[in-house]
Amino acid sequence: MTKLRQRMLEELQRRNFAPSTIRYYIRTVRDFAVHFHKPPDQLGVDEVRQFQLHMLRDQKLATGTVENRMTALHFFFKKVLKRHDPELYDMKLTRVPKKLPVVLSPEEVEKLIAAAPNLRYRTILLVLYATGLRRAEAARLKIADIDSQRMIIHVHEGKNSRDRELPLTPKLLEALRAYWRACKVKPKVYLFPTRFKTTEEERPVSDKAVWHACVESARRAGLSKRMGPHTLRHTFATHLIENGTDLPTLQLLMGHQKLQDTTLYVHLSRRHLHAAVNPLERIHISGLPQTPPEDGGGTAAV
């Protein structure tokens, strides 16, 4: 590891960035340096501008991805190299499309879980869907975090180092007990541990392993929707809204700092989408069936 890479790693760790963010930032700076075949500290504003154009025009990356990678480069130049060039921070994209996240139907969730290739993956999927945990939070979940007496799951140092508590449902508790009974080597600290071949030292699985559990199960289930751990987080929140959960409660469960972030799931809820009376249903169109008044203006079955 070069001194420059070590310095960037220390700056990220000192600010308590998530492991996945640390990997993403370091990989972005590495790609930036490889593109110009020079050490990153020998590059400047002109190269950042060219790299941004390369990502948009040649690689055709999504604008959100480009923005994230630009944020990583900003961190490198400002926090690691201590450069404060105003022109460097004036390269934000003016038009970043706001896309709604993918949400699975209950039937698709059942299909996904049933297609898990093993009990470990199946349990990971159940935990993600039943709690809305982020993938790093699920990977670091400890046995001691499962409080079966109070029926609570404790989440320690989630995003932005915030703790929160989640309800432990009877069905999830039974699934966790079945997983525990099936483990040949019982987990000691982490719910989903991994062990080094040379020692018995226990570590949590990587968040990439959690991602692979979702992707592989989705492939086996034949789901065409874009799939990842965050898909189950979005699905958890949307299904709660559809079942009548209020926004302040959902905000606590999701660990959002701002209620504005939670309101996204109102736009994804079928119950809220269909609550409004469509004006088409209130006018007479020749040749089209008319919505009976007692249906309350709902969409006629197709």
What's the confidence (pLDDT) of residue 299?
A: 44
* Dihedral angle, C-alpha 84, 85, 88, 92, nearest 10 °: 70
Active site residue 92: no
pLDDT, tens digit, for every residue of 200-225?
678 899 889 999 999 999 999 999 99
Active site residue 233: yes
| Tokens (6 digits) for 134 | 């982020």
Among 69, 122, 134, 140, which one carries the catalytic annotation? 134
Among 159, 212, 220, 272, which one carries the catalytic annotation? 159
Among 78, 164, 230, 272, which one carries the catalytic annotation? 230
Active site residue 98: no
C-alpha to C-alpha distance for 18 and 25, rounded to whole angstroms: 11
Distance in Å from the first CA to the final CA of the chain: 61
pTM of the model: 0.72
- Give 146's strand partners: 153
User: How many other β-carbons are positioned within 10 Å of the β-carbon of residue 39?
Assistant: 10
Active site residue 25: no
In order of 73, 89, 202, the CA distances from 39 in angstroms are: 13, 21, 36
20: enclosing H helix or E strand = helix 19-36
C-alpha to C-alpha distance for 183 and 172, rounded to whole angstroms: 17
Among 129, 179, 190, 265, which one carries the catalytic annotation? 265
pLDDT, tens digit, for every residue of 13-69?
988 888 888 999 999 999 999 999 999 999 998 999 999 999 989 998 888 889 899
DSSP 8-state secondary structure symbol assigned to residue 176: H
| Tokens (6 digits) for 48 | 């950042």
In order of 90, 104, 125, 224, 288, the CA distances from 115 in angstroms are: 47, 15, 10, 14, 41
Residue of 159, 117, 152 whose CA lies nearest to 136 = 159
Active site residue 14: no
Top CATH class of 3-89 equals mainly alpha
Assign a CATH topology to domain 107-225. hpI Integrase; Chain A (1.10.443)
| Tokens (6 digits) for 4 | 């420059």
Q: Which positions of the chain have pLDDT values less than 50?
A: 295-302
DSSP three-state, residue 166: strand
What's the confidence (pLDDT) of residue 302?
A: 39
Active site residue 159: yes
CB 179 within 8 A of CB 120: yes
Q: Domain limits of the chain?
A: 3-89, 107-225
Among 140, 233, 234, 239, which one carries the catalytic annotation? 233
